[in-house]
Amino acid sequence: MSNQENRFLGSPVPIESAPMHQILLIEDSKEVFNQVNAGLSGIAQIHWAASLAEGRDFVAENPVSLVLLDVELPDGSGVDLCNEFQSEYPAMPVFFLSAHAELPEKVMGFAAGAEDYITKPFQTMELKARVEAKLRKIDSINSSRSDFSWQELEVLRSRQEVFVKEAKERKSIPLTALEFKILSYFCDRPGEVIHRDEILNEVWGTDVHVYPRSVDTHVSKLRRKIKPADSTIKSVHGVGYKFEPTP
């Protein structure tokens, strides 16, 4: 991708400390990016995508805590992308940043699954307050969960980190929000046969229409990422999956 400038870049994450939240801004205005980056860089690592395509690609390959999304992008509607994200990454909150302040536009945004709708021009302090409030809720949920460690795999749900252990190496594995949620659900039910419908209901929710085979697609991606610990996730023909890590 040419002429990316600061896109997908942010302040470096300190080594040996809890990882910063990753926020993705999908917005074609560099001026808005500069404002968001200046206001939020102290609480999260800010990444920038200038189109729907760039944003879609980034979310597919990286763990994202929260998305700030413009309604109108050069290659399409942010509302449509929000609908996509709700289906594919239901655990990932989306805030709209839009110049459209009319009530019907806001209703459309919330109907697409957005958790907040902030109109432009906006005050940086207000944006920061809203984002911080959401990140605190995410941290609270994560800190209440147990961490897991097995011979092949380590899942730190309190920090949303995954490590694969092989020989004497401990390798960090970047997962998307949805992949992490699937793995986290498996962690709660080791040794159990889990039906695809159960995974759909727990991970995607009952109010989102997703085909059962979508589970297979995402589990397949998860397996590829956590090799050689992929053997812990076993397919159960005609039913779903069984998570069997070594104690």
> 204: closest CA among 185, 188, 220?
185
Answer whether 0.75 is exceeded by the pTM. no
pLDDT (tens digit per residue) in 55-65 = 999 998 888 99
Task: Quote the strand ranges of 141-244, DSSP E.
Answer: 148-149, 153-156, 161-166, 169-172, 193-195, 233-236, 240-243
Q: Are residues 76 and 48 in the same domain?
A: yes
> 241: closest CA among 206, 217, 210?
217
Confidence of residue 16 (pLDDT cuts 50, 70, 90): very low
Q: Return the pLDDT at 169.
A: 82
> In percent, how much of the chain has pLDDT > 90?
51
Domains in the chain: how many in total? 2
DSSP state of 147: P
- CB count in 10 Å sphere of residue 210: 16
Give me the long-range contacts of 210-213 (CB less than 8 A, separation at least 24).
Answer: 210/87
Q: 222 lies in a domain?
A: yes
Q: Are residues 157 and 183 in the same domain?
A: yes
Cis peptide before 19 (omega within 30 of 0): no
The Cα 30–Cα 9 span in angstroms is 13
* The domain boundary residue, chosen from 92, 126, 143: 143
Q: Are residues 27 and 136 in the same domain?
A: yes
Q: 69 lies in a domain?
A: yes
Domain that holds residue 156: 148-243
The Cα 185–Cα 30 span in angstroms is 38
* The domain boundary residue, chosen from 104, 128, 143: 143
Helix (H, G, I), strand (E, B) or coil at 188: helix
The Cα 135–Cα 116 span in angstroms is 13
Pairing verdict, β 66-70 and 21-26: parallel
Comparing 138-142, 159-163, 199-203, the range with the smallest average pLDDT is 138-142
Q: Return the pLDDT at 1.
A: 38
CA–CA distances in Å: residue 28 to residues 69, 93, 148: 10, 20, 40
pLDDT (tens digit per residue) in 203-217 = 887 666 777 788 999
- CB count in 10 Å sphere of residue 212: 12
pLDDT (tens digit per residue) in 40-91 = 988 999 999 999 999 999 998 888 999 999 999 999 999 999 999 988 888 8
Which distant-in-sequence residues (6+ apart) come within 8 Å of 9 by Cβ?
A: 47, 48
CATH number at residue 176: 1.10.10.10
Q: Are residues 47 and 139 in the same domain?
A: yes
The Cα angle at residue 34 between residues 28 and 37, in degrees rounded to 5:
110
Q: Are residues 137 and 109 in the same domain?
A: yes
